[in-house]
């Protein structure tokens, strides 16, 4: 719950800075970007539980992720593109010592990395001389034991540091439509490069 409230606060802060803008025309522009961040798992897929006989604690969560994005401007405020994302997941089993069952104390951790492909759309909602705030949304295929359909939505904030280079921040929410409905809140930072247009 604290994670959800934190993300809502971030979204509200980004929206609060929206004001009257001097719009640039993004039509025909081509962008390439890379992002590094961290995701927090939610939903039934990331529920921690304790096995009642051995008192072993099972925990799962998301973790570090990396993505690359490509965008093309279709209209003055609207861009579409694709994204490939490598997302790390981690699982841990912690078992306390149980003399009556002859079980020694142990702790086992495991990480895995999955490959996700998304189609995204950006729509500019606020712009100043150096920065732009976009609403981002799109469907994708998530590798949760196979190609599973999902959606993501959030914001992309970018700040111009030179003619063709921008710093970016991107809070997003992901949901995957499987039996256990994995969900993630993802916070990333990155760089974006304008390739012309």
* Cα–Cα nearest to 136, from 169, 165, 184, 110: 169
Q: What is the pLDDT of residue 57?
A: 80
Separation in Å, CA 187 to CA 6, 35, 172, 190: 11, 10, 7, 10
- In this structure, the number of other CB atoms found within 10 A of the CB of residue 148 comes to 16
Mean pLDDT of the chain: 82
Cα–Cα distance for residue pair 111/170, rounded to 1 Å: 24
- Which CATH class, in words, describes the domain spanning 2-17+29-196? mainly beta
Model confidence band, residue 196 (pLDDT cutoffs 50, 70, 90): confident
pTM exceeds 0.85 for this model: no
Dmax over CA atoms of the chain, in Å, equals 72
pLDDT tens by residue, 144-187? 767 889 999 999 999 999 989 999 999 999 999 987 888 899 99
Could you tell me where the DSSP H helices lie in the chain? 2-16
Cα–Cα distance for residue pair 21/12, rounded to 1 Å: 18
pLDDT tens by residue, 15-41? 545 444 456 688 899 999 999 999 988
Cα 174 from chain centre: 7
């Amino acid at each position: 719950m604290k994670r959800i409230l934190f993300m809502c606060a971030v979204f509200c802060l980004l929206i609060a800075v929206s004001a009257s803008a001097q719009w640039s025309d993004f039509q025909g522009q081509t962008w390439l970007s890379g992002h590094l961040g961290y995701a927090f798992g939610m939903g039934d897929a990331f529920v921690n539980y304790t096995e009642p006989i051995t008192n072993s604690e099972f925990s799962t969560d998301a973790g570090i992720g990396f993505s690359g994005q490509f965008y093309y401007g279709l209209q003055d405020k609207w861009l579409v593109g694709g994204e490939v994302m490598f997302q790390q997941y981690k699982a841990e089993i912690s078992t306390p010592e149980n003399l009556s069952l002859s079980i020694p104390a142990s702790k086992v951790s495991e990480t895995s990395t999955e490959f996700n492909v998304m189609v995204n759309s950006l729509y500019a909602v606020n712009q100043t001389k150096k920065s732009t705030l976009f609403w981002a949304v799109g469907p994708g295929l998530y590798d949760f034991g196979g190609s599973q359909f999902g959606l993501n939505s959030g914001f992309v904030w970018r700040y111009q540091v030179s003619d063709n280079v921008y710093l970016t921040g991107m809070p997003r929410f992901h949901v995957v439509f499987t039996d256990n409905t994995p969900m993630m809140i993802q916070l990333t930072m990155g760089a974006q490069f304008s390739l012309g247009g």
